[in-house]
Amino acid sequence: MNSANWILLKSLVKTDFKLRYQGSLIGHLWSILKPLMLFSVMFVVFIKFLKFGKDVPHFATALLLGMVIWGFFAETTSTGLTSIVMRGDLLRKISFPKEIIVLSVTLNAFINFLINLVVVLFFALITHVDVSKHVFLAPLYIFPLFAFSLGVSFILSTIFVYFRDIAPIWEVIMQAGLYGTPIIYPLSQITGTDIFSSLHISGNEIATVIFMNPLATIIQDLRHILINPANQTIGEFINHSWIIAIPYILPFVVLVIGYIIFKKHAKKFAEII
């Protein structure tokens, strides 16, 4: 990427960040308040009333961390989905690598994500969580999260140029994904149940399938190293190292595939939009 493209990328990120809460009374404080308000609702409903995670130490902090990670993926993909169409005027005026647009919204969401991670760490301190000495390993898990989110955004933004119906479909998929990922409930609630016995499927087998989702694996691993070592990880259910690596290889495969699809169609975007 040449210097002109770097300047354009920085300009887009800066502009989007400034416009995020333009006109609101408290501005960018919503970056912190929004996830905290959603967390408060989830905390009351799922922890206080439904008693999810009652036997899991510091599950409230684990819930907040899971929501912040999921929120980053949701924000990146939802804004990435419409990013090319929303910048149609820019595409028709100047020539530049179109992937800069998708990358800019991803970086913008990532800035918000880092702010929210600080909130999680502060919450962990006030709730007396003994933060693991392995906290320095966290970036190793965040990198594939970024790659996966960007790769999915490349695919969605390309599809949206041709088929606008993908937007409501993706909303439904994200809603299903939220409940299919161990965020508002601990994974032990699945592994410790016999609800699937009538189907001759064990809770551990269901957990193995869940762990093939990179988001589930990243959330559980970050909970394991940051909050509570008792949080179950993929290594407790699968003995084959090559299978354990799948959720961490998949994000980069999705990124490469997404980028190839995006580049293949990028030249036609201005004409179609």
Per-residue pLDDT of 155-170, as tens digits, reads 999 999 999 999 999 9
Bigger pLDDT: 89 or 112? 112
pLDDT at res. 71 = 93
Average pLDDT estimate for 179-192: 82
pTM: 0.89
The number of domains in the chain is 1
As a whole number of angstroms, the distance between CA 149 and CA 128 comes to 31
Owning domain of residue 51: 3-272
Q: Which band of pLDDT confidence, cut at 50, 70 and 90, is reported for residue 198?
A: low
The answer on pLDDT for 43 being more than 60 is yes
Q: Which band of pLDDT confidence, cut at 50, 70 and 90, is reported for residue 227?
A: confident
Average pLDDT estimate for 63-89: 93
Average pLDDT estimate for 231-237: 75
Of the listed ranges 41-45, 59-63, 151-155, the one predicted with least confidence: 41-45
The answer on pLDDT for 178 being more than 60 is yes
